[in-house]
Amino acid sequence: MSTHPPEKTTAEARTTPQAARPGLSFRRHFTRPGRHPFDEVSWETRSAVINDERGQAVFEQHGIEVPSTWSQTATNIVASKYFRGMLGSPEREGSVRHLISRVVDTITAWADKQGYFATADDLASFSAELTHLLVSQKAAFNSPVWFNVGIEKHPQASACFINSVNDTMESILGLAKTEGMLFKFGSGTGSNLSSIRSSREPLAGGGTASGPVSFMRGYDAFAGVIKSGGKTRRAAKMVILNADHPDIEEFITSKADEEKGGAYDSVFFQNANHSVRVTDEFMQAVVDGKEWQTKYVLTGKTCQTYQAGDLMRLMAEAAWQCGDPGLQFDTTINDWHTCPGTARINASNPCVTGDTLVATSEGWRRIDGLVGRSAEIIGSDGQPHLVDCIFPTGTKQVYRLRTRAGYEVRITADHKVWTIDRGDVPVSDLRMGERLQLVAPGFGRRAVGEQLAMAVGVAVGDGCLVRSAHRYGIQEIVILTMAANEAGVLVSIAGAVNEEKQLRRAVGAVGRPDGVSVRVSQSGSRLAFSSRPDVDLFKEFAVLDEGSHRKRFTPAVFDLDKPSLAALLRGLFTSDGTVANYGEKSQYISLDSSSRELLGQVQILLLGFGVKSKLYDNRRGGITASMLPDGRGGMKSYPVKEMYSLRVSRSWRFVFEREIGFDPSSPKAAALATLNGQISTCRDDLTDAVASIEPVGEQPVYDLTERSTHHFVANGLLVHNCSEYMFLDDTACNLSSLNLMKFRKEDGEFDAEAFKAACRTMITAQEILVDNASYPTPAIDRNSHDYRPLGLGYANLGVLLMDRGLPYDSDAGRAYAAAVTALMHGEAYAQSARVASAMGPFSGYARNEEPMLRVIDKHRQHAHMIDSTLVPKELLREALTVWDEAYALGAQHGYRNSQVTVLAPTGTIGFMMDCDTTGIEPDIALVKYKKLVGGGVMKIVNQSVPGVLRKLGYPAAQVDEIVRAIDEKETIEGAPHLREEHLAIFDCAFPPASGKRSIPYMGHIKMMAAVQPFLSGAISKTVNMPADSTPDDITDAYVESWRLGLKAVAVYRDGCKRSQPLSTSKDEGKTAGAAPAPDARPARRKLPDERRAITHKFSIAGHEGYITVGMYDDGKPGEIFLVMAKEGSTISGLMDAFATSISMSLQYGVPLETLVEKFSHVRFEPSGFTKNPEIPYAKSITDYIFRWLASKFLSAEHQEAVGVHPVQAPSEAPAGGAPTRATAGGPAYRSQADAPSCHYCGSIMTRNGSCYRCSNCGSTSGCS
């Protein structure tokens, strides 16, 4: 599946040459030479069985070899998710030993082949250390590694990908294909769709564009039907839209609109998380109550003006209803960006050559001269915008794009150019004749006297610089020549020069005292300058001494203000231009020269005045010699240079006359005035058509980031700049996580040395994966190899803090988490630098060295800001030391990886490591149910609780009483002897079923803010908010997240979807009273001939039908009729037969409770959302029918048991939602009432970051 170009298909070709590599030394920490890590583990044989909610096995494998310390849950997850081969076949894996060996041996072989390690002993040490970490549950790779490494020749090993999309149908549909292939092999994706034109913008063929939200429906549908890894989990997907996109309002409300009212029968956007990309400018506008403008994608001009606070309110209300959108904070993200020299590269890094002139507020500037500086770049709206990100992008194949009028730019094939009809189009997709936009720059600030500036122009047109020897050295003389009837032009220039001489003498300047004068003869007029200051002025602005075919202006002309530049061009055209009037045939102003470079410069300079001109090549038609007078009265053949002509015609000659013109003393001024007075023309647009695109070889290229309109002007043509993403667009990141509780020493302190050793091993292993994995597109392949981002993270933070007696929501808890995260992040970068010393830094490091070291130092500075009074001195000292080392090693060797850490939700791999909490999350509850090896479950109190109580000073007897109370009541609230100030230590993510306490949402945000400075990427976590939270609370959460420096945030209000009930304690299902025993003898109770009935219309995922229930006089149901709309005779017949059998059952005394219990939650298609708020989601038609019958005819307890949600008036709804009761073995906490059921086994899932995971079978809705 690898898409890397053929010349780099081998991993060795992507790394430093073997001869130049010293190889990496690797020391052991956990293992001993000569003893395999597997021999340190006790093994046993088990069965892995996973049952659905009805107790039926959905997975079963026997005779599995696992470490005896692994839980049954870990056994089930590994066997069902990661063992490869068909069940029952000889190829089926059946041992954790084999699974780990498959992955480790493959990575070790790759490392050996690529020469990663200095010696065979170093290689063996690495392999043993990695094996130890995996088998002891200290670490785990992301799921794609377990799925594919050792199975596929070039496995997909990364869990997350950032994909680009351009504003073309080919690119839009290509994104769907790319995402589908990523989902197939177990990975998630993220895409910013802001480059797609809005639904308010035109299409080339007429009509209006669909906009990104419409295409999101298609992407969502694909994601919904593709299971990641083929069998394990649903696709994980993120879609992003910038806050200044014209369709931002529709995007914000898209998911919420789908999930309310009549939208439930066809709900889109359930397979993706939505985020709005906002800048500091937007957030400040929210805080200050200011306006915010959206910008058209195609033009960058203002589309609509909002109150920023209104948009934020819209986001908060949508999130209140459905949990989306979240926010990504663009300015913060890029402030911590390690590769701004590369910038936020679009799909394949578009760029232009270094000599390209970029339009700025101060005139034209070469792009290579702006690198590392800031400039006010002219955008697509014609206004200047501050740009501080101008950078080289390497050496690439470039093409000369030329228009019919001769404007040209050397540019890469993937760089997008603005077209009048199709918006931004890559150069490779441009059509001949397609019209492009021309845009003018501003002018410089340097003023030169009008006549002196005009003299420079005359010199370039009909002048030269000559040198002669005299006794004092070499004398330089500038000579200007013109026709005899234009001597007045030179007289004016001479007068200005003589005035300058007098001024210089008045202030004591050195120079010749005599003035200059014009010499006039029959053949023409002549003016010469030899004074050094005068000659230097000409040399500053023009090259006059390399022959007529090499005449040109210097870059200094771009610094001239408008009057000075107009005078310079006036002198040039006056001296060497003509006015042509051929009647009806053509009329134009012409400038001829043998220097094409000069005419190209003039063409660009004219554009600044709003004058379009056309450049004609090869006016001599290839003639290289011509008969000319020999000065002796005869003719002689002389070699001649090719001639070029620049012409200003049509309406542009009027603009030329107004803005520049000819000198009034020249006959050409009168000729132009006569021409324009006699022959008028229509006004022309400042556009031009594509004439040719041809390759011109590989050249150094550059790009910039203009964030307001996303466009800049290159040699007069409007082009797109690079895009904006969390990290470089079209890259992949392979993830791994460390189990923090495995690094807790016997005395309860954190083992920093062991933790650092684990970081070194996992970073090295992930780095080796980069070159040996496959990638779905050439762009992802290239960028992943060039920048090599990794994502090391951790799990079990919540339990680690509780074990130390630190409340999750406390300054001490946050400081400790920051220290641990800083230690991981610093050691990861230090190891990356060590690998760079052996293998070389990543390809893009050279042009990003300074900004990357700045970010590394920024991480280091934040480590020194951790409160030393709240963290163990040894742990903090290790964290500070490792950051000093990471910076020093990087400054010496560079870094092998542009990014190294991220906090992922660790869904399935968290189960594999037997983690109680995932990622950065707190513990979910103090009481859990543990699966037993022989089957069944056992309720256990969090094993950290007794030890924490003892640390807090409680005597053994009190500890026992507190633990016993927790076991009985499933909450620590109200436990005997427990002091009030200690309750916060045991707060969890959700309140217990019989309690009230949980971690407030701001506690989650503050924890994220504490560790964010020590992560390369963002934190995958959803901030859980109680059901009674308001949109104002969500707004506060968003604003506070921005102020605290988070890169991204997402919130989820409990119960906002309510697709399914959750059981929260062991006694759910017990009825208030026993149902009366049925008659032992079957007897049919017929309905009266005339009876009451009710008819109910329903819709399940768009499938409509009707239920009619006939009732006895006492109101109990006695028969049902079912009618399905638009169904065939087969379905209708089955429904009739089913309804008849249920009717007979009711009439023969089968309790409705029994039927409801039997047929509720039966799963088959069609399933989906309904229009009934009491039953918002149905697993099948049968499920819906019987839960609806329960809602009409059974008690509240029965309704609750089967998941009917009675609709209450707002005043009657209990604050926070009433807790439901749980089945035996269910969670002992009040979890989210709208959690979905597992698609694999049917059990209720729990929130995990921005997705869900199933504690029964380990399936996830997208977590690693």
Q: Which two tokens stand for residue 587?
A: 């009329």
- CATH, residue 563: 3.10.28.10
Residue 1209 has what pLDDT? Answer: 46
Prior bond of 1173 cis (ω within 30°)? no
Instruction: Flag whether 455 is in a domain.
Output: yes
Instruction: Say if 274 falls within a structural domain.
Output: no
Tell me how many domains the chain contains.
4
- Report the DSSP pairing between strands 1093-1100 and 273-278: unpaired
Q: d(Cα 140, Cα 383) in Å, to the nearest integer?
A: 52
Tell me whether residue 1036 is exposed, middle or buried, using C-beta atoms within 10 angstroms of its C-beta: 0 to 12, 13 to 18, 19 or more: middle
In 10 A of CB 24, how many CB atoms? 23
**341/705 Cα distance (integer angstroms):** 10
What tokens were used for 368? 């290579």
Q: Does 559 map to a domain?
A: yes
Instruction: Give pLDDT, residue 394.
Output: 66
Closest residue by Cα to residue 977 from 992, 963, 993: 963
Given a contact cutoff of 8 angstroms between Cβ atoms, the answer to whether 186 and 231 are in contact is no
Shared domain for 413 and 534, answered yes or no, is no
In terms of domains, do 422 and 498 share one?
Answer: no
Distances (CA, A) of 1125 to 1095, 1107, 1109, 1246: 14, 11, 17, 36
522: exposed, middle or buried (C-beta count within 10 Å: 0-12, 13-18, 19+)? exposed
* Residue 477 and residue 580 in one domain: yes
The last residue of one of the domains, among 987, 1007, 1032, is: 987
Domain closes at, from 1161, 1177, 1208: 1208
Q: Answer whether 738's CB lies under 8 Å from 352's CB.
A: no
The confidence score (pLDDT) of residue 729 equals: 64
564 and 485 in a common domain: yes
Phi and psi, residue 374, nearest 5° = -110, 155
pTM recorded for the entire structure: 0.62
The domain that holds 385 is classified in CATH as 2.170.16.10
Secondary structure of 200-236 in the HEC alphabet?
A: CCECCCCCECCCHHHHHHHHHHHHHHCEECCCCEECC
Encoded tokens for 1054: 């409990």
Give the closest residue to 763 by CA, choosing from 791, 782, 785, 743: 791
Q: Is the domain of 659 the same as that of 513?
A: yes
Give the Cα separation of 1036 and 755 in Å (integer): 37
My answer on whether 676 and 705 are in the same domain is no
What was the pLDDT predicted at 92?
94
In a 3-state reduction of DSSP, which class is residue 253? helix
Whether residue 411 is found in the same domain as residue 464: no
Q: Which of 987, 1019, 1035 is the last residue of a domain?
A: 987
Residues 6+ positions from 765 with CB-CB distance below 8 Å: 107, 126, 130, 141, 736
Distance CA(1108)–CA(895), nearest Å, equals: 71
Asked if the structure places residue 1024 within a domain, the reply is no
Least Cα distance to 223 among 277, 257, 273 occurs for 273
Are 1088 and 1166 contained in the same domain?
Answer: yes
Give me the residue label for tokens 């034109």.
Answer: 197
Whether residue 469 sits in one domain with residue 432: no
Preceding peptide of 1166 cis, ω within 30°: yes
Pairing of strands 326-329, 625-629: unpaired
Distance CA 812, CA 803 (A): 13
Q: Which two tokens stand for residue 49?
A: 């069985």
Are 680 and 534 members of one domain? Answer: yes
Claim to verify: residue 587 and residue 495 sit in the same structural domain: yes
861 within a domain of the structure (yes/no): no
Bridge partners for 443 per DSSP: none
Can you give the pLDDT at residue 814?
A: 96
Is 228 within 8 Å of 188 (Cβ atoms)?
Answer: yes
C-alpha 575: how far from chain center: 56
Taking the chain (1264 residues) in consecutive chunks of 10 residues, what is each chunk's mean pLDDT?
Answer: 34 43 90 95 93 77 95 89 90 94 96 94 97 96 89 82 76 80 71 86 78 82 57 64 93 81 48 86 95 84 92 94 89 80 42 91 90 84 82 78 96 89 87 93 91 92 86 84 88 85 64 76 86 87 90 94 96 94 87 93 95 86 68 73 91 95 93 92 90 90 79 93 50 88 92 97 96 83 86 92 94 97 97 95 85 92 95 96 96 94 82 86 78 58 84 93 88 92 90 85 94 90 86 95 92 65 34 41 79 88 86 90 72 82 90 88 82 86 91 84 67 35 45 55 61 66 54
Contacts 24+ apart (CB under 8 A), 940-945: 941/966, 941/967, 942/799, 942/802, 942/916, 944/799, 944/802, 944/803, 945/802, 945/972, 945/986
Structural domain span for residue 474 = 450-625+637-685
Dihedral, CA of residue 32, residue 34, residue 40 and residue 43, to nearest 10:
160
Are residue 614 and residue 551 in the same domain, yes or no?
yes
Residue 980 CA: distances (Å) to CA of 802, 807, 974, 977, 985: 16, 13, 10, 9, 10
Task: State the catalytic residues.
Answer: 349, 351, 724
Instruction: Look at residue 486 and tell me if it is in a domain.
Output: yes
Question: Residue 901 forms beta bridges with which residues?
Answer: 792
What span, in angstroms and rounded, lies between the C-alpha atoms of 275 and 253?
11
Whether residue 1060 is contained in a domain is answered as: no
Q: Examine residue 1136 and state whether it is found in any structural domain, yes or no.
A: yes
Q: Strands 302-307, 291-295: parallel, antiparallel or unpaired by DSSP?
A: antiparallel
